[in-house]
C-alpha cells in the first residue's frame, strides 16, 4: 500500500519543523514552506521556487499541500463563486466566496460538516441529512484552496456553509485559531452562525474568542420556531435568549440575530412586534435574510413591503438592522442553498 503523504496546509510552524527534520531537511526549510502556504497560498510544491529542486522532489514524494481538492467551481453573474471540494473519502464540502462592490473585503462562507443534522424545514442542506464532521484540516483547507485558486487574500470568514459549527466544536475552535494565527484573519472578522445549541454557546462564551456569534433565530416565539426548526424542541426559545444574554455579558460582544423572512410564516407585522419585544433586552444587531427558494422547498419569499415593514418595526425598537444582500442565487450559492450531494463517487 502506498504510504500516506503528510499534509502541509493546515499545519503550524512547529509541526512543519518536525516534519522537515524527520525528512532529513534543515529546520529553516519549514519557515520557507510556511511562508509559501500562508503568505503566498502557493498552488503546488513545484512553485516553492526558493527551495532547491532536490528538496521540492523530496517534498513531492512525501507530502501533499492539501488533503482536499477543487472538484468544481461555479461563478455567479454577481461574481460570487461557489466551490465544491472533494475530501479524501469521496465526500464533498462546499464554500462560497463573495465580493461586495463597495468594499475591499473578500468574504468566504465555509462548511463545517458534510450535510447537516439539524433538519431546519426551509433549508436545502438539511435535506441531505448528516454524514460526518469535517476535520479541522478540511475546514482550513477550504480557505487555503480558495486563496491558492484566486490568488486573493480572504479577509472575512463566515461559518455559514453546510453544517452546524457548534456540533463540531473542537474542529471549529482549532480552525479559528489557525485562521487567526497562520492566515492573519482577525477574530472580529470571523462569524460563527449557529441554530442555537445552548451548551455549546455556553462553552463558546467561556472561551471568549471574540469572533461574532450569529444566531439563526428565525422566529418571534417558541411556537413558530418549533414548526420550522426541530432544534427548538430541545433548546427552548426563552432558554436560548437567556443563554445569549449570558454570552453578551461574558464576552462583552453584541450577537447578531439572523432572521430569515419566509412569506406567510414569520414575516407579519405582529411577528416583527413580538420579535422586537423578545429581543429588546438582548445586546444584538439584526440581520434580515430574504428567503431563498430551492428545489425541495415548500416555502416562499416574503413580499417586498413586508421586508421593509419588518425592518422598520425593529429599527423603531432601537435595533440596528441590515438586510443581507442576496449573492449567487443563480448558482445555488445563496444562504440555505448548499446541497451538493455528498455520497461517495459512483465511479
Count of residues that bind ligand SAH according to CB under 6 A: 19
Catalytic one among 94, 137, 164, 243?
94
Q: What Å distances lie between residue 151 and 43, 82, 94, 99, 143, CA to CA?
A: 9, 16, 19, 14, 11
Work out which of 123, 213, 257, 284 binds ligand SAH, going by CB under 6 A. Answer: 123
Q: Considering the complex, what minimum distance in angstroms separates the CB of residue 4 from ligand SAH?
A: 31
200 binds ligand SAH (CB under 6 A): no
User: Catalytic annotation on 258?
Assistant: no
* Chain residue whose CB lies nearest ligand SAH: 336
- Looking up cell 529546520 gives 27
55 binds ligand SAH (CB under 6 A): no
164 binds ligand SAH (CB under 6 A): yes
336 binds ligand SAH (CB under 6 A): yes
291 binds ligand SAH (CB under 6 A): yes
- Nearest residue (CB) to ligand SAH, 122 versus 235: 122
160 binds ligand SAH (CB under 6 A): yes
194 binds ligand SAH (CB under 6 A): yes
48 binds ligand SAH (CB under 6 A): no
Q: Considering the complex, what minimum distance in angstroms separates the CB of residue 179 from ligand SAH?
A: 17
User: Catalytic annotation on 94?
Assistant: yes
Binding mask 8-47 for ligand SAH (x = CB under 6 A): ----------------------------------------
**Residue 68: Cβ within 10 Å count:** 26
Catalytic one among 123, 195, 284, 335?
335
173 binds ligand SAH (CB under 6 A): no
255 binds ligand SAH (CB under 6 A): no
Work out which of 114, 140, 289, 333 binds ligand SAH, going by CB under 6 A. Answer: 289
**Residue 210: Cβ within 10 Å count:** 14
Q: Considering the complex, what minimum distance in angstroms separates the CB of residue 190 from ligand SAH?
A: 14
Catalytic residues: 94, 335
Residues that bind ligand SAH (CB under 6 A): 118, 120, 122-123, 160, 164, 193-195, 216, 218, 258, 260, 289, 291-292, 294, 335-336
Amino acid at each position: 500500500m502506498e504510504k500516506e503523504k503528510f499534509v502541509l496546509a493546515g499545519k503550524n510552524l512547529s509541526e512543519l519543523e518536525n516534519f522537515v527534520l524527520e525528512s532529513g531537511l534543515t529546520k529553516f526549510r519549514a519557515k520557507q514552506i510556511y511562508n509559501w502556504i500562508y503568505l503566498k497560498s502557493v498552488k503546488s510544491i513545484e512553485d516553492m521556487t526558493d527551495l532547491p529542486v532536490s528538496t521540492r522532489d523530496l517534498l513531492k514524494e512525501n507530502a501533499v499541500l492539501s488533503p482536499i481538492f477543487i472538484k468544481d467551481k461555479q461563478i455567479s453573474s454577481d461574481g460570487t463563486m461557489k466551490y465544491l471540494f472533494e475530501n479524501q473519502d469521496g465526500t464533498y464540502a462546499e464554500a462560497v466566496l463573495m465580493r461586495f462592490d463597495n468594499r475591499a473585503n473578500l468574504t468566504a462562507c465555509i462548511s463545517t460538516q458534510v450535510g447537516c443534522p439539524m433538519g431546519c424545514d426551509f433549508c436545502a442542506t438539511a435535506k441531505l441529512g448528516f454524514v460526518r464532521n469535517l476535520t479541522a484540516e478540511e475546514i482550513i483547507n477550504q480557505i487555503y484552496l480558495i486563496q491558492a485558486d484566486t490568488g486573493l487574500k480572504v479577509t472575512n470568514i463566515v461559518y455559514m456553509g453546510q453544517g452546524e459549527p457548534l456540533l463540531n466544536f473542537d474542529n471549529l475552535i482549532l480552525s479559528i485559531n489557525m485562521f487567526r494565527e497562520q492566515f492573519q484573519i482577525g477574530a472580529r472578522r470571523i462569524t460563527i452562525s449557529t441554530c442555537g445549541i445552548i451548551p455549546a454557546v455556553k462553552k463558546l462564551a467561556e472561551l471568549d474568542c471574540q469572533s461574532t456569534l450569529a444566531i439563526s433565530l428565525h422566529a418571534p416565539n417558541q411556537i413558530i420556531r418549533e414548526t420550522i426548526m426541530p432544534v427548538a424542541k430541545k433548546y427552548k426559545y426563552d432558554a436560548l435568549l437567556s443563554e445569549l444574554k449570558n454570552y453578551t455579558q461574558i464576552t462583552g460582544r453584541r450577537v447578531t440575530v439572523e432572521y430569515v423572512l419566509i412569506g406567510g410564516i414569520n414575516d407579519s407585522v405582529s411577528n416583527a412586534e413580538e420579535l422586537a419585544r423578545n429581543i429588546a433586552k438582548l445586546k444584538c444587531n439584526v440581520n434580515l435574510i430574504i428567503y431563498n427558494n430551492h428545489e425541495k422547498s415548500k416555502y416562499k419569499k416574503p413580499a417586498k413591503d413586508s421586508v421593509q415593514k419588518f425592518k422598520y418595526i425593529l429599527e423603531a425598537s432601537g435595533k440596528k438592522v441590515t438586510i443581507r444582500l442576496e449573492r449567487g442565487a443563480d448558482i445555488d450559492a445563496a444562504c440555505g442553498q448548499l446541497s451538493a450531494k455528498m455520497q461517495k463517487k459512483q465511479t
